[in-house]
Structure 1
Amino acid sequence: MEPVLKKVLSMTSSTQMLVAMFIGFAVGLFFGESVGWMGTIGTSVILLMQMTVLPYIVVSLVGGIGKLQKNTAKLIFSRTGIIMLLLWGLGLLTVALMPLSFPVVESASFFSTSSIEPVTPIDYFKLYIPSNPFESMADGYVPAMVVFSIAMGLALIGMQGENKQQILTFMHTCSEIFSRITRGLVKILPIGIFAMSASAAGTMGVDEFASMQVYLISYFVLCLLLTFWILPWIVASLTPITFAQALRISKASLVTAFATGNIFIVIPVIVEECKQIMREHENLSEDGATLIEILVPIAFTFPNIGKLTVILFVLFAGWFNGTPVDVSSIPSLSISGLLSLFGSVYVAIPFMLDLVHLPSDLFQLFVMSGFITGKFNSIAAVMNLFVLTLLTAALFEKSLKVRAPQLIKMGLGIGVSLVLTLIVCRVGMGLFIHGPETTSGVIANMQVADKVPTKVSKQFPVIGTTSQSAIAGITQIRNRGVLRVGYIPSNVPFSYYNNSGRLVGFDTAMATKLAEDLNVKVEFIPFRKNKLAQALDAGFFDIAMSGLAMDIEQMDALSYADPVLELNLAIATKDHLVNTFKSNKKILDMGPVTIAYVEHSDAVEDARLQAPNVKFVKIDGYKDFFRQKKNKYDAVVISAQAGSAWTLFFPGYGIALLEGKSRYPVAYAVAQSNQSLLNYVNNWQRLRKVDGHQDKIYNYWMLGQGAVEQKPRWSIIRDVLHWVQ
């Protein structure tokens, strides 16, 4: 045992992390869900790793910039700064385009309450302007901390005397303290990796693992494209150095960085190789050599293209979560991500996930994959240092070739290679990788739990033709032994037919429960909403229970019970149009649009005045929109709850909540004179809300809780060895 322990301890930290990850995967696959609790250990280790990051950003930037000479600082921030900004822009643009390689997966899900929770708007002033640096640090506003630290460093440059040296010494000492703490914590990082890997392998489904392949493949392709094509192409296009020479001089550093995952140890190699290749082309003066020696260590402290590539994880997380990052949010994400990456990725990624309102627990996926992806972003970072140094040196020595033909050739080469790469990845991953998908089979096979003798009529009663009955109060219903309930067919998820041809849905379940509590049978009779009051007065049924929006125009013709639910008004449309319909301004800018509606006439009339470019068309039912064949309607007004259920049947559609988060009540209706039944239903609803029965039905039919049987995660200990049940 002791020799094995010594061998493990003698491994490099990156090797220990890889070993820990694979052992964790093995443990998770063996024990399954029983090791899910290990995720808390992993989270604890990551939080410990984060504790020195924000202070380290301050002391490293202040000390690093503050020790520069004024002339050196001007040279670096003027010439190198421009080149660095251009390389950052190229890197961010490439990262922003990579999600185009993700395969298209038509998926849908039940309504989620998180979709209607108020979103706290981003305070860009606090995010970027450190009006109170202590508050910025306490709240984790990394970009503001970077701005503050750079300002302090620049101020130190102009200072002289012993006080400046004391501050620089203090900053250097603090930096060394934080580095020692970090090095100590790195020793326990394999434990966190092991715990998170075991937890993920034990609880993550096969579909989720398949989706992670999308991120890993696109990330590897991104880093390889930048390292071995785009960045060397820039050097070859703008300097006397050829493409082959750019790859040759960087080979040793790339191999070392990939093997160790450590960029710092190759800095001396980068310096010497850059000076050597410049001498080969007789383009290096003594001052140029000094510039290279100063530039590489300083550039190392700034975010590089390799670091910027981790922003791709945030874009992947949106795809993985089924809520892709909006195109309009990408510029803000890129700038904030760039500034946050002055520190550790372990702070930057949670910050960026929060910025685009994605679940923070997705961060564990990043940490798990980080030890594989880290080797690839290391080689991109090394090549970035080579390119930045060579371009700056060439500019200093006046050998930089910035002419239109070279720029056009370079732009075309980079653009064509990027487009071809995206197409190949998109097609390849689309053929071989399939993401998680929720199909209509889930909602189409749901069942009403309560067993009450039930009769369902599919024939609509007709006023003047169908025989009428006297309006029945509670006593008459009990004496008759049957509760007659009106329903609207194909009104998902309130009342619809499942795959077995049975009438099911939220209100069907509520009606069945009402009949059970009355100790009577239940009979369902269909109705059309525009004839509802007449049907109730004719006694065709006792109560209408089918997701009825309370209509002010019908209140003098029938009686509504207390609202059973409050729903959120939304728009259902094709997936690619969802983001457009989230904004009133974007709707107005669309040009002529046709929106269908079934109810909500008052809201539609208000919208007609505000959106003259929108044509509203009343339809008989939502199925007329979702089953349309000639694309007559661009969208339909619907509740978010019902719209989400419809998208399970038609996953090519999505839901856009309207601005203002409009809500409206739905209620059950009885004949205006049927006070006895109205009083009973109101009291019954209050009871079933308090005892939780209504919530249970809501959670099943609206949120899908329990709709899919949750089978235990496959594991060796249960499914192969059969040691546990």
Structure 2
Amino acid sequence: MLTKLRAMQSSTQMIVAMFVGFGVGLFFGESVGWLSNIGTSVILLMQMTVLPFILVSLIGGIGKLKRTTASLIFSRAGVIMLLLWLMGLVLVALMPLSFPFVETASFFSTSIVEPTTPIDYFKLYIPANPFESMAAGYVPAMVVFSIAMGLALIGMEGENKRLIITFMHTCSEIFAKITQALVRVLPIGIFAMSASAAGTMGVDEFASMQVYLISYFVLCLLLTFWLLPWIIASLTPVTYTQALRIAKSSVVTAFATGNIFIVIPVIVDECKQIMREHESLSDDAETLIEILVPIAFTFPNIGKLTVILFVLFAGWFNGTPVDISDLPSLSISGLLSLFGSVYVAIPFMLDLLHLPQDLFQLFVMSGFITGKFNSIAAVMYLFALTLLTVSQFEQRLKLRPPQLLKLSIGVVVGVALTLVVSRVGMGMLIHSPDVTSGVIANMQVADKVPTTVKKQFPILGKTPSAPIANVQTIRQRGVLKVGYIPSNVPFSYYNNAAQLVGFDSAMASKLAEDLGVKVEFIPFHKDHLAESLKAGFFDIAMSGLAMDINQMDELSYVDPVLKLNLAIATKDHKVNSFKRKQSILALQNTTIAYVEHSDIIEEAKANYPNLTFVKIDGYKTFFRQKADNYDAVVISAEAGSAWTLFFPGYGIALLESKVQYPVAYAVAQDNQSLLNYVNNWQKLRKVDGHQQRLYNYWMLGQGATEDTPRWSIIRDVLHWVE
């Protein structure tokens, strides 16, 4: 059996390893999750020769060219190559339009407010210190440095140049041999990552991978069998049918082996033959073909550029789609990084967009399926580049308006039709995950303290008032009266069992437990908070209260309980419009609702005169609106994330300035006894971790769902393990 495996082609071994890994993962489940460490180790080994290989191969490859050849290639083929790259990058950028719309929502995550390191574009692209660029993994800067050295070598003569080029080619061979040796262990890495993913990845995640695979296959097939042949047929003497005919054997071979290098001689011969048929092959043109194809092979091809689609998919998969403004930077950085290996380029691009590096494993697992498709796109790209360049050299390139119109119509119609069909097709296959509102609607307060919840609001002048109760009085009567705001998710709200729950409800229960008393919850309107406390309707207000400077002379706030992040909640398709000041200023006929933060709203009115601000009674007024009276609402990111669990059609946009504000509990102004007690109690509960546990549960959703083991044959079919 082992002998048969060794006799297989490396690509076949990898495919076998992937499917065997899936089988092992499904059989053993989560118990093989540790295998991801082996997979990561193998990939890191594969990356170790990439940066040095870029350096020596580009310097040696460009440096050995003659001046005339280099001038011809960079002036004529270079322009065509850039145009084909541009077309490929634009098409990749458009493919996410085919991704199905999936409503998702999640609890607040601290990662969205963590400061991100700004990209230093000077270091990214300019190799002021090439050694620093290599050490920091700035692939684009390394490519620029290598090309500069290669161009400088072209202008040199003598023995020293020959020695340098020989050294560079020797190093290239060394790195190639190391890579070939490491490829032998790559199936082990593929097996390990496939087993780990199959054992730990949920069904929804597997379903989402279909989006990437389908869109990637469609992209490569569109390039191979429509766009590139259509460009050849529109601009050169070669017809569409002839373009497909001459590429047929090379495309089939590249797909079967996943290897482009072995079909280079075939591409050269086929290009010569088809140009002879059209009497467009002089001796110089024949030489150009022989030189151009091998050199073009060393540059990123359009098939290689298609892997950038994975980064766009990763953003969609992660729930943070790549913003349009980030596409130019991603495209340029991706193009330059793809001068090397995709195993360096993809992690680099994920890091550039602050996407989880764990997603790289999904790319590696699918790489040996997608690799066959990008190989056929690469082969057709080499045909297109060669035929277009030779036609231009022979002055047979058709650039008149009729041909350009024909080209434009074919490209636009083909791309539009492909995107529409893909979007509709995947929309039928991929469905939104189960509604997440059931998670937050079934959360419960853990502390079992005798509790009474009143739903009738006390009315000033009608409801009997009571003296302000200090700590001793509260203990004597045996009840802590706590004011709450109904439907104030996630601080105080009713769950599916009609129980009052939430972060502050849980904190209030713990406070009552530590006082040794029962707890009674009384609802209140925030506008009447100070009067309600003074009237003794309740002892303390605990319901996500933003500290209001206008009320500080009427009541007393305890020390801040939390710092929340100000945000905007709006419909999913409008979220990006509220992320940057410039885009907010461009909005017209937009109404923003708010519940609190009057001081911040006054400042916003001055900064954004194009917006209309309207105060509402509560957040449920916004989220449950039926007439779309409000386009967005000012809310904390923590509370907004919780509301989106009930209404997954909404999303959260953090303000560009990252504004924070404190929330605190409030007591009557003269209740110094309770103020001191709660301040000291809160310090204790912060130190012992109780408050943090409640924050993790109610804000971050940790423990909100029961973690069940991933389905596996060994557990759920054979019942060998519990």
Give the alignment's TM-score, normalised by structure 2.
0.99
1:608 to 605, 608, 614: 605
The separation in 2 between residues aligned to 1:580 and 1:125, in whole angstroms, is: 28
Deviation at 1:271, TM superposition (A): 0.5
Match of residue 283 from structure 1: 280
Instruction: Give the match for residue 270 of structure 1.
Output: 267
- Residue aligning to 2:97: 100
Q: Secondary structure at the match of 1:111?
A: coil
Provide the residue aligned with 2:31 in structure 1: 34
Equivalent residue letter for 1:517? D
Equivalences for 1:221-620 in 2 at 5 Å?
Answer: 221-436=218-433, 439-620=436-617
Q: Residue 232 of structure 2 aligns to which amino acid in structure 1?
A: V
Deviations 1:182-201 (A, max 9, x none): 00000000000000000000
The one-letter code matched in structure 1 to 2:231 is I
Q: Distance in 1 between matches of 2:66 and 2:151?
A: 10
The offset of 1:353, in angstroms, is 0.6
- Is 1:680 the equivalent of 2:691? no
Distance 1:207 1:335 in 2: 32
Letter in 2 for 1:629: K
1:245 is paired with a residue of what secondary structure? helix
Cα contact 2:697–2:703 (8 A) shared by 1: yes
| Aligned residue in 1 for 2:59 | 62
TM superposition shift of 1:346: 0.4
Paired residue type of 1:353 = L
- Within a 5 Å distance, the mapping from 1:171-182 to structure 2 comes to 171-182=168-179
CA contact (8 A) 1:105 1:437 kept: no
Alignment match of 1:162 (pick from 159, 164, 168): 159
- Secondary structure of the residue that 2:34 maps to in structure 1? helix
Amino acid at match of 2:360: F
Give the aligned partner of residue 126 of structure 2.
129
Contact 1:109 1:438 in 2 (8 A): no
What SS is found at the alignment partner of 2:274?
A: helix
**Distance (whole Å) between structure 1 residues aligned to residue 589 and residue 583 of structure 2:** 12
Q: Secondary structure at the match of 1:669?
A: strand
> What SS is found at the alignment partner of 1:547?
strand
In the alignment, the residues of structure 1 paired with residue 596 and residue 434 of structure 2 have an alpha-carbon distance, to the nearest angstrom, of 31
For residues 357 and 447 of structure 1, the distance between their equivalents in structure 2, rounded to whole angstroms, comes to 34
- For the pair 1:145 / 2:142, whether they are aligned, the reply is yes
Name the residue aligned to 2:632. Answer: 635
Aligned mates of 2:466, 2:150 — CA distance in 1: 87
C-alpha deviation, 1:437, in angstroms: 5.2
Compute the displacement of 1:436 (Å): 3.9
Q: Identify the residue that residue 195 of structure 2 maps to in structure 1.
A: 198
Aligned ranges for residues 37-52 of structure 1 at < 5 Å? 37-52=34-49
**Aligned AA (2:473):** Q
Equivalence map 1:182-193=2 (5 Å): 182-193=179-190
Q: Deviations over 1:650-675 (max 9, x none)?
A: 11111111122111110001111111
Deviation at 1:77, TM superposition (A): 0.2
1:621 aligned partner: 618
Counterparts of 1:601 and 1:488, CA distance in 2: 18
1:438 Cα deviation from its structure 2 partner: 5.2
Q: Which residue of 2 is the match for residue 208 of structure 1? A: 205
Task: Give the aligned residue type for 1:548.
Answer: L
| Separation in 1, partners of 2:239, 2:610 | 57
Tell whether the 8 Å contact from 1:211 to 1:434 is kept in structure 2 after alignment. no
**What CA deviation, in whole Å up to 9, does each residue of 1:114-152 have, x standing for no partner?**
000001111111111111111111111111111110000
SS of structure 1 residue aligned to 2:449: coil
Rate the CA distance shift 1:473–1:366 in 2: closer, same or farther, 3 A.
same
Counterpart CA distance in 1 for 2:400 and 2:352 is: 40
Unaligned residue ranges in structure 1 (runs of 5+): none
2:543 match: secondary structure = coil
Question: Are the counterparts in 1 of residues 587 and 611 from structure 2 also a CA contact under 8 Å?
Answer: no
Q: Secondary structure at 2:465's aligned position in 1?
A: coil
What whole-Å deviation, never above 9, does each CA across 1:11-35 have from its counterpart, x for those lacking one?
A: 0000000010001000000000000
Once residues 101 and 85 of structure 1 are traced to their aligned partners in structure 2, the CA distance between those partners, rounded to angstroms, is 25
Unaligned runs of 5+ in 2: none
Distance in 2, Cα, partners of 1:66 & 1:432: 51
| Aligned residue type for 1:524 | F
User: What is the CA deviation profile of residues 32-84 of structure 1, one whole-angstrom value per residue up to 9, with x for unaligned ones?
Assistant: 00000000000000000000000000100000000000000000000000100
Identity of aligned residues (%): 79
Q: Which amino acid aligns with 2:612?
A: K
The code of the aligned residue for 2:669 comes to Q
SS at match of 1:346: helix
Question: In the alignment, residue 699 of structure 1 is paired with which amino acid?
Answer: N
Amino acid at match of 2:403: Q
Give the paired residue count: 722
CA displacement at 1:638 relative to structure 2: 0.6
User: What is the deviation of 1:435?
Assistant: 4.8
* Pairwise CA distance, 1:357: 1.1
Output the CA distance in 2 between the equivalents of 1:288 and 1:90.
Answer: 26
Give the match for residue 73 of structure 1. Answer: 70
Between the aligned partners of 1:554 and 1:172, the Cα distance in structure 2 is 76
Letter in 2 for 1:212: M
SS at match of 2:546: coil
Give how far 1:409 is off. Answer: 1.0
| Letter aligned with residue 642 of structure 1 | A
Distance 1:623 1:55 in 2: 58
Deviation at 1:591? Answer: 2.5
Write the distance in 2 (CA, Å) between the matches of 1:663 and 1:438.
30
Q: 1:580, CA displacement in angstroms?
A: 1.2
Displacement after TM superposition at 1:432 (Å): 1.4
**1:427 deviation in Å?**
0.8
Confirm or deny: 8 A CA contact 2:458 2:524 kept in the other structure. yes
Using the TM superposition, give the Cα deviation of residue 87 of structure 1 relative to its aligned residue in structure 2, in angstroms: 0.3
What is the aligned counterpart of 1:89 among 76, 86, 91? 86
Q: Secondary structure, in 3 states, of the residue corresponding to 1:23?
A: helix
**SS in structure 2 of the partner of residue 636 of structure 1:** strand
Aligned-residue offset at 1:234: 0.5
- Specify the code of the residue in structure 2 equivalent to 1:489: P
Post-superposition CA distance 1:551-575 (Å, at most 9, x none): 1111111111111100011111111
Q: Counterpart of 2:692?
A: 695
What's the RMSD between the two structures over aligned residues?
A: 0.8
After alignment, is 674-683 or 189-198 more displaced? 674-683
